[in-house]
């Protein structure tokens, strides 16, 4: 019988929230297509985590326990995932689109000669067949995709699905896979934590961020910083600004920079690539100023201004200063 395999992920000694999101998605697809749900929990000393996941949407959990799986040795994890797919007979394999998921999932798909769809925000099971929804062109367009023939591997955008909330009668089955460190051609060495920030955006109540629309590095002190100062807030930036060397990495807001949740976030000249949105979309209130009315930033903003930021921002700075008296 065809089935779904959830590849769960462990971070900081716990099953990640994103894995419970996969469980709720898998439950929905399972009921729409008559598949059974199984999961893989791989790590070192995972018995309790596997039990927990089995009871919270993981179905039959294959638990792979090995010293090498306690760290992110990608080739060790790939070997175990392959064994789990073979053991489970799954024809749909779900990963989260995390740094681990995007690293191994396409490789698993290629090894299976399987269809692969990444970073889905939704998967529908329509009349037994699967329809995938994801963004393209950095969030500017939605794409609908179908797959044909054989197994399917997909990665799902974290946060796009509500996590599994019920209770299930799962069970845990150990999965033994021989692994040897000297066979690994890609070896995990260490995690380097983010360095202490000179700019700690996580504590700012107001953040004024600038993007590629600023056009030049000197526009940050000229246009963005004055508004941030007037509001008593901090200055931030989007990735292209940091990539271009206009501002240091400590200013970067996004999934690969700082994830922020201020009371007010003002995005100036930022189009709203997904990785930026992941870093600021839970802000309490978002104002976006951008020339392009179709910019994805307007999808997460509460209030928008479609105009040249060089007209609006200096005028706003002046008005804020005047309002403060």
Partner 1 sequence: MKIMVCLKQVPHRDARLDVRADGTWIQEDNIKFEINSYDTYALEEALRVKDAGGAEVVVVSIGPDRVSQALRTALGMGADRAIHVKDPATDGSDALGTAKILAAVAKQESPDLILTGFMSEDANFAAVPPMLAELAGVPHTTAAVKVERSNGTLRVDREIEGGAYEVVELDAPCLVSVQTGINQVRYASLKGIMAAKKKPLDVKTAADLGLAGKVGAAAAKVKVTKVAPPAKGDRAEILQGSTDQVVSSLVHKIKELGLL
Min. distance of Cβ 173 from partner 1 in angstroms?
27
Instruction: Give the whole-angstrom CA distance, residue 80 versus residue 62.
Output: 10
CB-based contacts of 192, cutoff 8 Å, min separation 6: none
When asked if residue 176 is in the footprint of partner 1 (CB under 8 A), the reply is no
When asked if residue 191 is in the footprint of partner 1 (CB under 8 A), the reply is yes
CB 144, CB 132: distance < 8 Å: yes
* 136: β partners: 141
When asked if residue 200 is in the footprint of partner 1 (CB under 8 A), the reply is no
Window 48-87: contact mask with partner 1 (x via CB under 8 A)? ------------------------x-xx------------
> In the numeric block, which tokens belong to residue 80?
């175990």
CB 15, CB 8: distance < 8 Å: yes
CB-based contacts of 71, cutoff 8 Å, min separation 6: 188
2-10, 43-51, 58-66, 94-102 -> range binding partner 1 (CB under 8 A):
94-102
Q: Which of residues 263-292 bind partner 1 (CB under 8 A)?
A: 263-264, 274, 284-288
Give the binding-site size for partner 1 (rule: CB under 8 A).
93
> In the numeric block, which tokens belong to residue 258?
């700082």
Among 87, 225, 256, 282, binds partner 1 (CB under 8 A): 256
Instruction: Give the whole-angstrom CA distance, residue 325 versus residue 320.
Output: 9
What DSSP designation does 41 have?
Answer: E
Among 99, 217, 221, 248, binds partner 1 (CB under 8 A): 99
Min. distance of Cβ 191 from partner 1 in angstroms?
5
CB-based contacts of 45, cutoff 8 Å, min separation 6: 65, 70
49-57, 84-92, 95-103, 214-222 -> range binding partner 1 (CB under 8 A):
95-103
Using CA atoms, how far residue 104 sits from 155, 156, 217, 269, 310, in Å, is 10, 13, 37, 34, 44
Among 17, 200, 218, 311, binds partner 1 (CB under 8 A): 311
Q: Which of residues 103-142 bind partner 1 (CB under 8 A)?
A: 103-107, 109-111, 113-119, 131, 134-142
Min. distance of Cβ 219 from partner 1 in angstroms?
18
Q: How many CB atoms lie within 10 A of CB 306?
A: 14
Instruction: Give the whole-angstrom CA distance, residue 115 versus residue 130.
Output: 12
Q: Between 74-88 and 99-112, two packed helices, what is the crossing angle to 10 degrees?
A: 50
61-69, 83-91, 164-172, 311-319 -> range binding partner 1 (CB under 8 A):
311-319
24-32, 44-52, 159-167, 248-256 -> range binding partner 1 (CB under 8 A):
248-256
For residues 16 and 170, which CB has a smaller minimum distance to partner 1 in the complex? 16
When asked if residue 36 is in the footprint of partner 1 (CB under 8 A), the reply is no
When asked if residue 226 is in the footprint of partner 1 (CB under 8 A), the reply is no
When asked if residue 234 is in the footprint of partner 1 (CB under 8 A), the reply is no
- The SS3 of residue 245 is coil
For residues 74 and 168, which CB has a smaller minimum distance to partner 1 in the complex? 74
């Amino acid at each position: 019988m065809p089935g779904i395999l959830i590849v769960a992920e462990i971070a900081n000694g716990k099953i990640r929230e994103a894995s419970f999101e996969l469980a709720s998605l898998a439950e929905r697809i399972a009921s729409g297509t008559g598949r059974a749900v199984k999961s893989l929990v791989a790590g070192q000393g995972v018995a309790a985590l596997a039990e927990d996941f089995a009871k919270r949407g993981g179905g039959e959990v294959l638990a792979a326990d090995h010293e090498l799986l306690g760290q992110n040795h990608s080739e060790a994890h790939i070997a175990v995932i392959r064994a789990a797919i073979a053991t489970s007979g799954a024809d749909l394999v779900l990963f989260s689109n995390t740094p681990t998921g995007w690293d191994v999932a396409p490789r698993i798909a290629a090894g299976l000669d399987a269809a692969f769809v990444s970073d889905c925000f939704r998967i529908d099971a329509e009349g037994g067949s699967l329809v995938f929804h994801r963004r393209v062109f950095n969030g500017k367009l939605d794409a609908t995709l179908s797959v044909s023939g054989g197994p399917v591997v997909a990665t799902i955008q974290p946060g796009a699905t509500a996590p599994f909330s019920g209770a299930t009668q799962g069970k845990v089955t150990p999965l033994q896979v021989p692994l040897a460190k000297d066979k690994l051609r890609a070896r995990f060495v260490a995690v380097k934590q983010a360095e202490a920030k000179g700019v700690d955006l996580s504590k700012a109540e107001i953040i004024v961020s600038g993007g590629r629309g600023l056009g030049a590095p000197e526009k940050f002190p000229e246009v963005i910083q004055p508004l941030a100062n007037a509001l008593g807030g901090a200055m931030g930036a989007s990735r292209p600004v940091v990539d271009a060397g206009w501002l240091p990495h400590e200013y970067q807001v996004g999934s690969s920079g700082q994830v922020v949740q201020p009371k007010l976030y003002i995005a100036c000249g930022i189009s709203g690539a997904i990785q930026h949105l992941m870093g600021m979309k839970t802000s309490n209130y978002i104002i976006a100023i951008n020339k392009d009315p179709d910019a994805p930033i307007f999808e997460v903003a509460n209030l928008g201004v479609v105009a040249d930021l060089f007209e609006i921002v200096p005028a706003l700075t002046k008005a804020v200063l005047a309002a403060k008296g």
